[in-house]
Amino acid sequence: MRPMELPRGAGLFLAVTVLNGALAGILDLLCRAELLHRHWLLPSLAAGLACQWLASLLLPRPASEAAVAARASMRSALLSLLAFVTGLGVVGYPGVFACLESCAARFGYAGLLAGLVFWHQSQADEPIFWGRMRSRLAALGCGLWGAYLLLYHRQLTLWMLDIVFFILAMTLWLGRSQAVFLIASLGIVALAGLRSAGSELAVVSLDLALLTCLFFGGPWVEARLRSGPAPTKTRWTVPRIAAVALVLVVLAVFAGRPAWLMVSPEKRRARLEGLAPAFPVRDPKTLSPLAGRLRGHVVELAGRIGERSAYLVPAQKRAQEYVASEFRKAGYAPEYQEFTARRKVDFMRTEPYRNVEAVLRGRDDGRGIWVVAAHYDTAPGTPGADDNASGVAVLLETARLLREGGYAGREIRFVAFDAEEPPAFGTRDMGSLRCVDELKGRGVKIRGMINLEMVGYFNPAPGAQLFPPFLQLFYPDQGDFVGLAGNLRSLSLGRAFSRAWGAEGVRLLPATLPFVFSTLVISDQLNFWYAGIPALMLTDTAFFRNPNYHQDSDTPEKLDYERMAGQAEALVRVLSGL
């Protein structure tokens, strides 16, 4: 009986695999001895494999057929191991994200290096498993993953990264006639959709499915695209021309014009200012007691203190002390959650940021606590009456009313967030992100979060309410309501909130935005959504209604304090009944 012969080059393939397995073992020993960070193992392996592949390019050109086969086998082994190591890094992303060291950067550089290796291999088109199609897919996948991690290393939030990569996916979709761009664009869209659900298992499972599709499905998809019907010349008949014209008109009216106003702040402000009501909306002398208290908070924060941006530390301290003192007057024992910026910023700030938190104790039914919050900082150059002294005022009065009314519900944490506005906006230095991380780190279960974001500006004039494209088909054009924005995970919470609202004179219009479109409502609740926690944002819709958004004209006399009082009373009913 003849001994079994290995395929040509298989011995070298096995040798390369065994040698790199030994290298992985050595690196693992270094990690166990704490001489190498455990998250640096995979990037180090990827760098070693890339260097070996580069060295294979420097070998002399083989002369014999056997030598050619051996070299191809060795390169195939290196590429397969590199793909495997990079895939492990993708699947193990939760540990990388949780690490406070610069692990994300090392994984990112390793991903870019792997992408360059596969891109170069795609130019060779060798007759191995890693042919042109698979190499191109792997190059794009590794490059995108590396770029994602490097941006994460720059302290961007996950939802900000999803916005960036969703735009990238739409760009790649333009090249969907090629399998590489089709698979990449669909993969990005699917991952962005699952990321906001807060399920690491779901994301890892989709990662594995995408890796399988990249390695084995690319050639099949390419073949299907090529075997499709040949394009035919379009015959432009009168009905077809009319249909196209109608579609273009609809897009121009319901998508083009709203989109243009969204990206043209000056034109948007000019239109809204032309419809603005007379100020003050109500004579301060005729305000109800609750509305008068709300006005007092706004006047203190946006009038006497004024701008409370990260660039004005003394003003921020005055705002923090005012919020804390009002909590104390209501019978609370407020605490500060201090945190320092993790990223370099364009100004020197040695003082830490501070969230202000007050706890209203309640029953523990095992379903978790409520978090009710509003950010107290402002954008640079604005006194921030509506954005967001209005939210802080409603927060303070809701906390006072609940405590005075003998609240018997589940525990509520009232939090005034720091660092929502630039330069922290969209980064992991946001106060809301630090808050949710701290609560989850302590094992505190959160039933839901309610974010009060600009709740004081109203304008009932027709045409005074703008919307993103197509939403104007479903909502009124009069700015006499407050919006309740949530994502799909928060749908049941939003329904219960709406049923319990019952505020006379303050219409509540809920909106559930699925997938990455939920990032249109950019505020603190996004950090709770991406932590897997149901959260809602109560808002007057910000710049879609208020022309003073992020302007020095955002002053106290422009707010409707009676409607704010209605919201505070409604929040008391909601929190007492849920």
Q: What are the tens digits of pLDDT across the range 495-526?
A: 999 999 987 779 999 998 875 665 567 899 99
- pLDDT confidence of residue 72: 77
Is the CB of residue 52 less than 8 Å from the CB of residue 17?
no
Could you tell me if residue 403 is inside a domain? yes
Q: Residues 285, 368: one domain?
A: yes
Residue ending a domain, among 201, 226, 251, is: 226
Q: Residues 368, 473: one domain?
A: yes
Distances (CA, A) of 68 to 17, 118, 120: 19, 19, 18
Q: Residues 206, 266: one domain?
A: no
Is the CB of residue 311 less than 8 Å from the CB of residue 380?
yes
Is the CB of residue 514 less than 8 Å from the CB of residue 162?
no
Distances (CA, A) of 374 to 154, 402, 438, 518: 26, 17, 17, 19
Six token digits for residue 260: 């243009």
Give the Cα separation of 451 and 396 in Å (integer).
13
Could you tell me if residue 87 is inside a domain? yes
- In eight-state DSSP terms, residue 300 is I
Q: Residues 216, 264: one domain?
A: no
Q: Each residue of 260-292: pLDDT tens digit?
A: 666 678 988 999 999 999 999 899 999 999 999
Could you tell me if residue 4 is inside a domain? no
Is the CB of residue 447 less than 8 Å from the CB of residue 367?
yes
Q: Residues 267, 214: one domain?
A: no
- pLDDT confidence of residue 27: 64
Distances (CA, A) of 502 to 102, 258, 292, 404: 50, 31, 22, 21
Q: Residues 355, 426: one domain?
A: yes
Which residues on adjacent β-strands are paired with residue 416? 356, 374
Six token digits for residue 410: 């589940």
Peptide bond preceding 334: is omega within 30 degrees of 0, i.e. cis? no
Query: Which element (helix H / strand E) includes 114?
Result: helix 103-124
Give the Cα separation of 36 and 573 in Å (integer).
55
Which own/partner contact pairs does 461-464 have at CB distance under 8 Å and 24+ positions apart? 461/275, 461/277, 463/271, 463/275, 464/272, 464/275, 464/276, 464/545
Q: What is the largest CA-CA distance in the chain?
A: 107
- pLDDT confidence of residue 14: 62
Q: Residues 39, 121: one domain?
A: yes
Is the CB of residue 279 less than 8 Å from the CB of residue 557?
yes
Is the CB of residue 446 less than 8 Å from the CB of residue 489?
no
Could you tell me if residue 208 is inside a domain? yes
- The separation between the first and the last C-alpha atoms of the chain, rounded to the nearest angstrom, is 79
- pLDDT confidence of residue 547: 96
- pLDDT confidence of residue 346: 55
Is the CB of residue 152 less than 8 Å from the CB of residue 99?
no
SS3 content of the chain, % helix, strand, coil (to 5): 60, 10, 30
- In eight-state DSSP terms, residue 196 is T
Q: Residues 168, 266: one domain?
A: no
Q: With H, G, I as helix, E, B as strand and everything else as coil, classify residue 413.
A: strand
Number of other CB atoms surrounding residue 475 within 10 Å:
14
> Could you please report the per-residue DSSP string of 301-366?
IIIII----TT-HHHHHHHHHHHHHHHHHTT---EEEEE--SS--SS---SPEEEEEEEE--B--S
Residue ending a domain, among 182, 208, 226, is: 226
Q: Residues 282, 421: one domain?
A: yes
Q: Residues 218, 264: one domain?
A: no
The CATH number linked to 473 is 3.40.630.10
- pLDDT confidence of residue 4: 40
Nearest to 570 by CA among 492, 510, 506, 512: 506
Q: Residues 368, 426: one domain?
A: yes
* Domain interval for residue 77: 10-59+66-226
Could you tell me if residue 5 is inside a domain? no
The reported pTM is 0.84
Give the Cα separation of 390 and 556 in Å (integer).
9
pLDDT < 50 stretches in the chain = 1-9
Residue ending a domain, among 167, 202, 226, is: 226
Q: Residues 392, 512: one domain?
A: yes
Could you tell me if residue 148 is inside a domain? yes
Could you tell me if residue 101 is inside a domain? yes
Q: Are strands 412-417 and 353-360 parallel, antiparallel or unpaired?
A: antiparallel
- pLDDT confidence of residue 323: 98
Could you tell me if residue 542 is inside a domain? yes
Domain count along the chain? 2
